[in-house]
Copies of this chain bind each other. A is one copy, B any other.
């Protein structure tokens, strides 16, 4: 068997070059990461840092972990793909949850995430203006510094709405389980 990369992997390279220029970089909880001028998102696993890159974060798209059938149907109906020409702004949201979160059984995590925190319902209200790619990092071969990488893009006129969405999410019970969060805002170079 030859090692073949998982096709659902994406790498985010922070450094001197990249499609996205950093507008702001804010650590909300936990350790910071090195500030960079640019970010590049590439499909595949970039484990060795190319010249000019300072960090490389990896994650995979995967199956839904909490979404119920009716919610999924709504999401599919309303969501837009990332990469629309008008989406010249984006955000890289790096998240890690506590060991306490991961030790909860599935029903209790779902209860916190949706019944108590309305994570899916809040996100739905901002579709299709905000588009998202969610990467899971916790079960990769390499020990990744975050559990999730959210890459979200939107038109410049939607950034205020995006901030409203994050304010709503960060006020929830789910966010009490966040032990590291970094919010990097980007604009297309």
The chain A residues found within 8 Å of chain B, CB to CB, are 1, 3-9, 45, 47, 55-56, 58, 60, 62-69, 71-72, 102-110, 136, 138-145
Q: Which of A47, A56, A72, A145 has the most CB of B within 10 A?
A: A72
Contact B60 A139 (CB under 8 A): yes
Q: Shortest beta-carbon distance, A85 to chain B, in Å?
A: 29
Query: What's the minimum C-beta distance from A136 to chain B, rounded to whole angstroms?
Result: 6
Chain A binding surface SS class: loop
Residue from B66, B106, B139, B145 within 8 A of A67 (CB atoms): B106
By the criterion CB–CB under 8 Å, are B143 and A140 in contact? no
Q: For the complex, what is the distance from the CA of A110 to the CA of B107, rounded to whole Å?
A: 10
Q: Are B7 and A71 in touch, CB under 8 angstroms?
A: no
Q: Decide yes or no: A106 and B65 within 8 Å by CB, A136-B139, A140-B6, A143-B6 being known contacts.
A: yes
Give chain B nearest CB distance to A107 CB in angstroms.
Answer: 4
Nearest CB in chain B: distance from A21 CB, A: 22
B55→A1 contact, CB < 8 A: yes
Q: Which of B6, B62, B71 is A105 in contact with, Cβ under 8 Å?
A: B71
- Asked if A107 contacts B69 (CB within 8 A), the reply is yes
| Residues of chain B contacted by A145 (CB below 8 angstroms) | 1
Best-buried of A72, A109, A141 by chain B (most CB within 10 Å): A141
What are 20 A-B interface contacts by the 8 Å CB criterion?
Answer: A1-B55, A5-B141, A6-B139, A6-B140, A6-B142, A6-B143, A8-B139, A9-B141, A45-B141, A62-B139, A63-B103, A64-B106, A65-B106, A67-B106, A69-B105, A69-B108, A106-B110, A139-B139, A141-B141, A141-B142
